[in-house]
Structure 1
Amino acid sequence: MNYVELFKALSNKSRLQMLEWLKEPELNFPEQLVAGFEHGVCVGQIQAKAGLTQSTVSEYLSILQRAGFIESKRVGQWTYYKRNEKAFTALSELIESNL
Structure 2
Amino acid sequence: MRTSEGAAGAVPALKALASPIRLQVLAWLKDPVAHFPAQVDGDLVEDGVCADFLRDKLDLAASTTSRHLSVLADAGFLVATRKKGWTFYRRDEARIAAFVEDLRGVL
TM-score normalised over the length of structure 2 = 0.85
The structural deviation recorded for 1:94 is 1.2
The DSSP-based 3-state class of the residue aligned with 2:105 is helix
The structural deviation recorded for 1:77 is 1.1
The structural deviation recorded for 1:95 is 2.1
Q: Corresponding residue for 1:95?
A: 103
1:29-68, aligned counterparts within 5 Å? 29=36, 31-32=37-38, 36-37=43-44, 38-68=46-76
Q: How big is each residue's C-alpha offset from its partner over 1:18-49, in whole Å with a ceiling of 9 and x where there is no partner?
A: 000000000010x2266532211000100010
Calculate percent identity across the aligned residue pairs.
Answer: 40
Q: How big is each residue's C-alpha offset from its partner over 1:47-88, in whole Å with a ceiling of 9 and x where there is no partner?
A: 010011100000000000000000010001111000000111
Return 5+ residue gaps in structure 2 as ranges: 2-8
Q: Corresponding residue for 2:10?
A: 3
CA contact (8 A) 2:10 2:103 kept: no
Number of residue pairs aligned between Structure 1 and Structure 2 = 98
Higher relative contact order, structure no. (Cα contacts within 8 Å, ≥ 6 residues apart): 2
Find the structure with the greater CA-based Rg. Answer: 2
Mean Cα deviation higher: 35-44 or 58-67: 35-44
Return 5+ residue gaps in structure 1 as ranges: none
CA distance in 1: counterparts of 2:13 and 2:76, whole angstroms: 8
* RMSD of equivalent CA atoms: 1.4
